[in-house]
Each structure stands twice: as structure tokens, then as C-alpha cells.
Chain A
Amino acid sequence: MRLMSILMLSAALFSIGIYGVLVRRNAVLVLMSIELMLNAVNINLIGFGTWLRDTAFVNAQAFVLFVIAIAAAEVGIGIAIVLAIYRNKASIAVDEVDSMKW
């Protein structure tokens, strides 16, 4: 049953993350929502790893370390792009970045 509650938590986090990405206008909040989605993945992996034990336990932790490191790099890139937009536009609302359509 403990695994079930962990999976529910991660599913909830992932859904909140998706909702945030779709609804939020502020680019920084969108980045935070993406972090939520990636952390839902981490919780999933650690939950399964602890439940399965043995090699799966180690594999899951290795996977999570990679996800954490790459998520950090991605946010760095995301902030850099948002900063570039802010310098040109003095706004970080994602729905105002719409000079190209169709």
C-alpha cells in the first residue's frame, strides 16, 4: 500500500505540473511547473526502486541522479532564454511572445 500512496503523490505532482505549464503566463512559473513534472518522475523511480529492492534499487537511484543533474542544466538554459527575452521585451509573459503564427 505504501507504494500506492507514493505513486498517487507522483501522479498528482505530475498533473499539477502539466496544469501549470498549460495555464501559467509567467515564464518562471512555467519553468517551476516543469520542475514539478521532473520531480514526479524522481518520486516514481525512488518509490519503485525501494519497493523492488536489489539491483532495481541501485538502478533507480542512478536514474534519479541523472534526472536531477540534467533538470538543473535545463533550468539554467531556460532562465538564460527567459532573460534574453526580458532584455528585449521587458516582459516574461509567455503568451505575449507570439510574433510568429501558423
Chain B
Amino acid sequence: MGTAVFDLHALAPELILTGVAILILVYDLFIGDERKWTLPIVAAGGILAAGIPLVTLGLSDTTRSLFGGAYVVDGFALVLKGIFLGASFVVLLMSAQYVEEGDYHRGEFYFLLLSAVLGMLVISSARDMISLFVAIELVSSPTYLLAGWRKRDLKSNEAALKYFLLGVVSIAISLYGMSILFGVTGGALKFTEIASWMSAVPSGSAMGVAAMSIVLILVGFAFKIAAVPFHLWAPDTYEGAPLPVTAFLSVASKTAGFVGLFTLVYLAFPAQSQVWRPVIFGLAIATMTVGNLIAIKQTNLVRMLAYSSIAQAGYVLVPFAATTREGSLTAETFASSVTYLLIYTVMNLGAFAVIIAVARRTRSVEITSWSGLSKYAPGLAVLMTFFLLSLAGIPPTAGMWAKIFVFRSVISAGGLANGALAAVMGINSVIAAFYYLAVVKKMFFDPAPEEDLEAIPVPASLAGAIGIMAGITFVLFVIPDVAVRLGYGASLV
């Protein structure tokens, strides 16, 4: 059972999603404009249907290994697939109304969205270089197109071009590293083979070449997660892309990059932590600090959240860089990264859902246009405050636990370097609170514009998305145990 060559049960989520994505493309051809509103329902149904085999796989509780170990469905894969499907479902809720109101090709929008989700499911299970490469391309390629969805808008074009060029170049750099690693390890493609080669050959010129290729591969993934100094595409792409796509990019696509990073460093390169630890240490500190400092002076809310999401990626990187005295990797650091990713996904999606709701009225995402929001949309203002507090890590929100878990795992690893890391993270949390709370102040204490003070109507699907995210953010504050268990359940160590 555990080693079947072609296990349909293990592949069921991917197969269902593929089927529904193709179905949408064909169905879209045969229906008139008046029936297009059914498309998001079909897409949402597909995502929920793909979740069913995920639950049964989780209940059966066996690690399934397919294609000679190149594709593995284990706890890590299941937890991450669950996060991806949940996030995509909420993004669908957020985009249904948005896409309907634009002059967009709706069928293709949902098709591309589902294709990207399929790539995310595949990347969670990818355990060799080829499937990792194919999966990351399957995540990226549809999102390049989604970013440029408003094809008559030059900003959207620009977002797509910048995202595309930097994405493709970064993948090419990663691939070059993979090809060198392939040669120097004597043709190893699977992560287990690479790991056993690395623990067997600790030194020598071969190791030097391998170290270079590890750094090249990591550079490619640092682009995907928008770590400083590889972050330059992110703010422009987030600002120019359609808002639901920005939400999708800032959580799902970023998490996919992290999944690649998790499997690479914990499964393929664990024996060579002295090579990648310093790299990730530097990335984590630079990412947190630069992201937060540039976010302060942003006047555009989406751009501010773009830099904030860069800084948040830095917090997720922190546990990677935390070295124990023995230099070994612990389940605690791993779990704290996954927990942070989960909670970040929820709170960031919530913030973007509120922005979409408010931007329907204000037609602007400048922070000044939000002044006095509490006067005419008190509900949205309170919810936005809730999500911003969570991003800043202030109770009563799940964001507080996310930060505490990362802190605790870094400090319990011990040592001076880890202490410095925790200190930098602490300072950054304070800086971040400043710009999040500035928006709150704008909403509650600044005067509202004179004209047009009616309440903002929120479509049902969007209200559902905001409600679900706010609910989860609060529930995870009350019972953080759920998130922690998921984090430990996902542990690869």
C-alpha cells in the first residue's frame, strides 16, 4: 500500500482539480454571458471536492510514496495542501464579484487560478528536482498571466512584465544550480539521494561545487518568496495586479515558494546546514528590516501591505536560520515556520478582502482615501483594524501566537546568533506596529470626506470571505493548539 506505483487515492486531489480546471475551460465556451455567474460556483465546487480525498488521506494516516519516491503524500504534504485549498477557496470568494464587474474573460480567470492551485498541490508532494521544477513553474506561469489580467491597463501590464521577467530569470538561475548539483552528485535527482550523497562527502572540491549550486538554487527560491534583496518585483506587481490576484500572490504563491524551500533545506540539504544557514540568516535579517523600513513611507495601502508581506516572509525565515548548538534541525523550529505561514495566510487574506470591499466604493487604495472610514463603514473599519492588529502581532488575534511561537523556537535553540536574530525580530515587530496602527488611526480619528457617506454595500461572497478569515483569526487566538498541532503534524524533521 505504502509503495504503490500509481496510487489513485493519493493523487485524487490533483486529478479532481485537473478535471475541474479543464471542465471550466470547456463549459465557458458553451454558455452565454448571462450564465457566466455559474463559473465561480463550479470552481469553488472543484476546490471543495479536491478537499474530500485530502480528508480521507489524512484519516488513513499512512505515508504514501509514488513514482519511486519522487512524489510523496505525507503529513507535510497534506497540511500544506489543506492550507492551499482553503486559501484558494477564499480567493475565489473574493474574486467572484470583482471578476464579474470587470470586462474580463471570466472562464480563463478561473481556469488559470485552478491551474496555479494545482501547481501548489503538486509542489507540496514534490520530492525530486524535476517535479519541484515542474510544480514551481505550474504555480508561476498562470500567475504571470493573472497579474496582467486587466490587459488594457498599463499598470497591470507592467506588473505582469516585472513578475514574469524576474520569475523566469530566477528559475533559470535555480535550474543552473540544479544541473550542476545533478552532475556533482553523480546523477542524483531525488532529495533522499542528494541528502545521502551530502552526508557521505563532507569535504573536498566536489563539496565546494555543491555548495555553490546550493546557493544558486536558494537564490531562485528567494525570488519566489520575495526575500530582500530579491524583492524588487513584489511591490510593483502587487500594486499593478487586480486586487484578488494580489491577495492570491501574497499568500498562496509565496507559501508555494516556502514549501520548495522547506523540502529543499530539510530533505535535500540537511547535512550541509553550514552552507545555507548563513545565507538564510542574512536573508531573514535583511528581509525583516528592509521590508518594514520601506513600508513606513508608503502612501498606497496595497504597496504598504506588499512591503509588510515581504517583512512577514522574513519572520517565517527566522526559524530556518536558528541553529541549535549541535547544528541539528529541530521539529520545533520547523513547526513554528509552518504555524506562522498558516496564520499569516489567514490574516493577510482577511486584510485584502476588506481592501477589496472598501475599494469598490473609494476606487482608490491610497491610505488618505480611507480617512474616517469608521464614520460610514464601522463594520469594515473594525474588521480591518482586527486584521492589522493580527499582522502586527497584537492580541486578541492569532498573529500574536504566530510571533510568540517563532520567538520561542528561536530562543530555545540557544546561542548568541539566535539571540541576535530574536532581538532583530523584536525591534522589527515594533516598527511594523507603527505603520499598521497609522492606518487604524486614519480610519478612526481622521475626518471623513464631505460627500458620499452612505454605508458601503458588501456582496455576499466577499462578506463570507471576510467573515471566515476573521473567524479563523479569532478562533486560532483562543485555541492556538490547532495551529500548533498542524505545524507539528507537518514536520519533516
Contact = CB atoms under 8 A, between A and B. Distances in A.
Contacts of A48: 179, 182-183, 187
Interface string A61-73: 0110011001001
Interface in A67-86: 67, 70, 73-74, 77-78, 80-82, 84-85
Interface in A13-69: 14, 17-18, 21, 27, 30, 34, 37-38, 40-41, 44-45, 47-49, 51-52, 54-56, 59-60, 62-63, 66-67
Contacts of A40: 176
A51 B183 contact: yes
B472 interface: no
Contacts, number: 124
Contact of B187 (A56, A73, A78, A101): A56
Nearest to A39: B172
A8 interface: no
B172 A17 contact: yes
Given A34-B169, A55-B187, A94-B161, A77 B179 contact: no
Given A63-B130, A85-B157, A100-B158, A49 B187 contact: yes
B172 A84 contact: no
A21 B183 contact: no
Contacts of A70: 133-134, 137, 141
Nearest to A42: B179
B176 A59 contact: no
B239 interface: yes
A98 B236 CA distance: 9
Interface residues on B, range: 35 or more
Contacts of B130: 62-63, 66
A28 to B, nearest CB: 12
Contact of A66 (B134, B158, B165): B134
Interface residues on A, range: 35 or more
B179 A45 contact: yes
A99 interface: yes
B375 interface: no
B129 interface: yes
A44 B176 contact: yes
B16 interface: no
A39 to B, nearest CB: 10
A41 B141 contact: no
A41 B186 contact: no
A10 to B, nearest CB: 8
Contact of A56 (B153, B155, B186, B240): B186
A81 B144 contact: yes
B157 A81 contact: yes
Contacts of A100: 155, 158-159, 235-236, 239-240
Contacts of A87: 151
Contacts of B129: 63
A41 B172 contact: yes
Nearest to B163: A81
A75 to B, nearest CB: 9
Contacts of B301: none
B168 A74 contact: yes
A97 interface: yes
Given A37-B176, A45-B179, A80 B145 contact: yes
Interface in B116-148: 129-130, 133-134, 137, 141, 144-145, 148
A41 B175 contact: yes
Given A45-B182, A100-B235, A52 B148 contact: no
A89 B144 contact: no
Contact of A38 (B151, B158, B175, B180): B175
A88 to B, nearest CB: 5
A48 B188 CA distance: 11
B35 interface: no
B157 A84 contact: yes
Nearest to B166: A21
A43 B144 CA distance: 27
Contacts of B187: 48-49, 52, 54-56, 59-60
B172 A81 contact: no
A6 B15 CA distance: 40
22 contacts: A14-B176, A38-B172, A41-B176, A44-B176, A44-B183, A52-B187, A54-B187, A59-B182, A59-B187, A73-B137, A78-B164, A80-B145, A82-B161, A84-B148, A85-B161, A87-B151, A89-B154, A94-B161, A97-B157, A99-B154, A100-B236, A101-B236
Given A67-B175, A85-B154, A100-B236, 16 more contacts: A34-B165, A41-B179, A45-B179, A47-B183, A48-B187, A52-B187, A63-B182, A66-B130, A74-B168, A81-B144, A81-B157, A82-B161, A88-B152, A88-B153, A97-B158, A97-B161
